[in-house]
Structure 1
Amino acid sequence: MYGKAFAPEYQGELGAELSVNSSYEDVLAAARRARGAAGTPGDAARAALAEAEAGRRLGRVAEAEDAWRASYRSARAAQDAAGMAWALWSGGTLARQCGRLALARRLLAAAVAFAEQGGDRLAHGYALAGLAETGRIQGDYEAVAELHEELLAQARAHGEARHMVWAMSGIAQMHRNKGEYEKALELFEESVRIAEGADDVRGLAWSLRGVADVRSVLGETAEALRLLSKGEALCRGLDLAGALAYNHKMRGNVLYRARRYEEAAAVYRGALEEFRAMSEPRGSALARLGLVKSRARTGWPYDEVVAELDDVEREVTRIGLRHARDMVRAFRAELSAGRTAVPAPGATTRRSPAVPARS
């Protein structure tokens, strides 16, 4: 059993005023008002935490960075270890979003320690979840799969729907990336049901994206696009800039798999602009990969494709994205193997033959 989703990052008076489904523009405005009226360091820490989280999810990186640091300083002044843990969790999550994974691990590990010191079970669970997600994003599944399962069990035991959806969709993503599509679909669809039952709109949007991904892999293009359209509407309703960009990137993936390469390229370009606007290097790298693959299928010269792939590989290696690096290498090998194929009429340059379209 589980209850309605709630947002533990909204604390004090903000916790009564805001819900997990509050628009992030509304959260930001309320947090700034509360911060301006704060009478104690503890009040200031809680208001700045909400401000940091709203700024992060709106893609306003510099503002989010300033706010989580202010939250930490205020919590430290109040000698509030749990407050320091929440601020470090926010900072670690922002660092991961910005592709600074080593910094994310340091901040999140410190958050775990302060949460233990302060006796805040929720902060401890969220910080551990942050470490687990950082490892999953890097592709280190063996190291974090068990932690995901443990956190899911804890969330079930305490009836915390929002955390259940997070853990379940993370486990589903690992199954999907290993090619275990039936298990991934089962978990993604369960997370959709839980998110709907708990009124967790953000979790629902991410879970729908996961279902759409697997449905697309299984050849159900129309259903995948329908699910993404539903998820897009949810993202827009909550001002979820990051989730919306990833939704668009997934739409590009679906169109690419359906061999609608020109449409895919246009969608990837839009997603890339969104990721760059919020300084999100992981999403930018994945959108670039999708874009160059789509261009390769529509006649881009081979040497230009390979040069772009090389640059994307350097970027994902710098960030530490093992799964993305493997995808780059697999596509490069596919192109190399297909160079002997006859190019499409007119799709040539003086330097090299165009990449042949997939048959």
Structure 2
Amino acid sequence: MYSKAFAPEYQGVLGSALSVNSSYEEVLAKATEEQRRSTLGYARAGLAVAEANRRLGRVAEAERAWRDSYRAARRAGDSAAMAWALWSGGTLARQRGRLALACRWLAAAAECAERGGDRTARGYALAGLAETGRIRGDYAAVAALHEQLLAEARAHGEARHMVWALEGIAQMHRNTGSLDTALAMFEEAAEIAAGAEDARGHAWALRGIADVRSVRGETGRALSLLTRAEGICRSMRLESALAYNHKMRGNVLFRAGRYEEAREVYSGALAEFRAMEEPRGAALSRLGLVKSLARLGRSAEETEADLAELDETFRRIGLDHARAGLERFRAELGARAAAA
């Protein structure tokens, strides 16, 4: 069993005033008002300000807010509040493609949470470390941690963390070819998220289901699922999730051989990621765009120049799985050229 999803990053009086599905403009308004009340209240409300801005794609505002929250928590001597601020900073660093820095802040967050006796903050920090490793493609190092966190979430009935862990494990199965397992886990995540009224988790789970359905050739069903997820993202103004939804739509169209449509969608996603200064999403969208243009007849020389630049970008960010996909496309281009 599990309870309704809740947002522990909304702390103090904000915890009772806001829900996991509160609009981020409402979060910002209430948190800004709460910051005026006390030093510790400032730290807790600053965390909400940081998270709302991060999810709206306002990275400069998010950076200032989490650092302000951390400094206020440190002045108040509250290790748990320091841990939450560091978790927010680490999550923002990962969103910006600074994966090594993300690991540094998240490890510090886990240490502070341990010292402050905040089990939830520690779980979120460890989850952040696991997700960062998964994004890098280091599945061997983080698979066990994902499973551990899923078991802890089930034991405590924490729906939001169950959804996160299921989606992360499912993504690893999908990327390693275990599509049946991936689909089952994404579908369980979607069911739990819907039951717990976790709209954001539900949108991400629908995106994962669409991805697997697309790989199986179910293009129409995949696009329908992405449309449902897009509606959630728009209603909650989940800017980053919306951009990743669009990038996935490009993937679905590309797999279906609809290259001109894919090119258009990838171009839009690239613009969205660049606007919010999210280099990982931008690089992945650009790879999709380069692949689409190659299928539409772009020269081999221009394609290879872009692939070489993207390979360096993936290496710098630390996206090993994306680099492997790029190399597969290179090999495919070489095989086609040889056959021609």
The two structures have a TM-score, normalised by structure 1, of 0.94
Q: In the alignment, which of 198, 201, 208 is matched to residue 200 of structure 1?
A: 198
Aligned length: 340
Q: Deviations over 1:315-337 (max 9, x none)?
A: 01100000000011110111011
Alpha-carbon displacement from aligned partner over 1:19-55 (angstroms, at most 9, x marks no partner): 00011122122212222x22x2110001100000000
CA distance, structure 2, for counterparts of residue 25 and residue 289 of structure 1: 33
Aligned counterpart, 2:228: 230
* Structure-2 residue corresponding to 1:72: 70
Counterparts of 1:84-95 in structure 2 under 5 Å?
Answer: 84-95=82-93
Q: Which residue of 2 aligns with 1:241?
A: 239
Distance apart, 1:341 and its partner CA: 4.2
- Map Cα deviations across residues 241-272 of structure 1 (whole Å, 9 max, x no partner): 00000000000000000000000000000000
Partner of 2:148: 150
1:2 aligned onto 2:2:
yes
What is the letter of the counterpart of residue 92 of structure 2? L
Residue of structure 1 equivalent to 2:23 = 23
User: Residue 103 of structure 1 aligns to a residue in which SS?
Assistant: helix
Which residue of the partner structure matches residue 181 of structure 1?
179
Q: Give the letter aligned to residue 175 of structure 1.
A: H
Which residue among 108, 111, 118 is the counterpart of 2:109? 111
Q: Matches of 1:29 and 1:294 in 2, distance apart?
A: 42
Q: How much does 1:150 deviate?
A: 0.2
Q: Supply the distance in 2 between the matched residues of 1:24 and 1:214 (Cα, whole angstroms).
A: 30
Distance 1:32 1:209 in 2: 33
**Aligned residue for 1:59?**
57
Q: Name the CA distance, whole Å, in 1 between partners of 2:29 and 2:291.
A: 41
Structure-2 separation of matches of 1:30 and 1:94 = 21
Please give the per-residue CA displacement for 1:247-306, whole angstroms capped at 9, x wherever unaligned.
Answer: 000000000000000000000000000000111011001000000000000000110001
Matches within 5 A, 1:233-272: 233-272=231-270
The structure with the larger Rg is 1
CA–CA separation in structure 2 for the residues paired with 1:300 and 1:250: 22
Q: Percent identity?
A: 68
1:159-189 C-alpha deviation (Å, 9 max, x unpaired) = 0000000000000000000011011000000
1:278 to 276, 279, 282: 276
Tell me, what secondary structure is at the counterpart of 1:340? helix
- The structure 1 segments of at least 4 consecutive aligned residues displaced by more than 3 Å after TM superposition are none
Give me the whole-angstrom Cα distance separating, in 1, the residues matched to 2:31 and 2:125.
Answer: 22
Distance in 1 (alpha carbons) for counterparts of 2:259 and 2:25:
35
Gaps of 5+ in 2: none
Out of 119, 138, 141, the residue aligned to residue 121 of structure 1 is 119
1:88-111 per-position Cα deviation (integer Å, ceiling 9, x unaligned): 000000000001111100100000
Q: In structure 2, what is the Cα distance between the partners aligned to 1:266 and 1:27? A: 34
Distance 1:279 1:221 in 2: 30
* CA distance in 2 between partners of 1:148 and 1:100 (Å): 21
Matched to 1:131, the amino acid is: L
Whether the aligned pair in 2 keeps the contact of 1:25 and 1:239 (CA below 8 Å) is: no
CA deviation vs aligned residue, 1:67-89 (integer Å, no higher than 9, x gap): 00000000001000000000000
Q: Distance in 1 between matches of 2:330 and 2:71?
A: 48
Hey, what's the Cα distance between the residues in 2 that align with 1:12 and 1:252? Answer: 41
Match of 1:347 in 2: none
Q: Distance in 1 between matches of 2:56 and 2:269?
A: 15
Partner of 1:348: none
> For residue 305 of structure 1, what is the aligned residue in structure 2?
303
Partner letter of residue 297 of structure 1?
A: R
What is the identity, as a one-letter code, of the residue corresponding to 2:229? Answer: G
Alpha-carbon RMSD across the aligned residues, in angstroms, is 0.7
Shift of 1:198: 0.4
Q: In the alignment, which of 156, 166, 169 is matched to residue 168 of structure 1?
A: 166
2:46 aligned to 45, 48, 64, which one? Answer: 48
Task: Identify unmatched segments of 5+ residues in structure 1.
Answer: 343-359
C-alpha distance in 2, partners of 1:80/1:221? Answer: 51
What SS class does the counterpart of residue 339 from structure 1 fall into? helix
Residues 201-241 of structure 1: per-residue CA shift (max 9 Å, x gap): 00000000000000000000000000000000000111100
Letter in structure 2 aligned against 1:95: A
Whole-Å separation in 1 of the counterparts to 2:204 and 2:80: 28
Q: CA deviation at 1:195?
A: 0.3
Task: Please identify, of 333-342 and 122-131, the stretch whose mean Cα deviation from structure 2 is larger.
Answer: 333-342
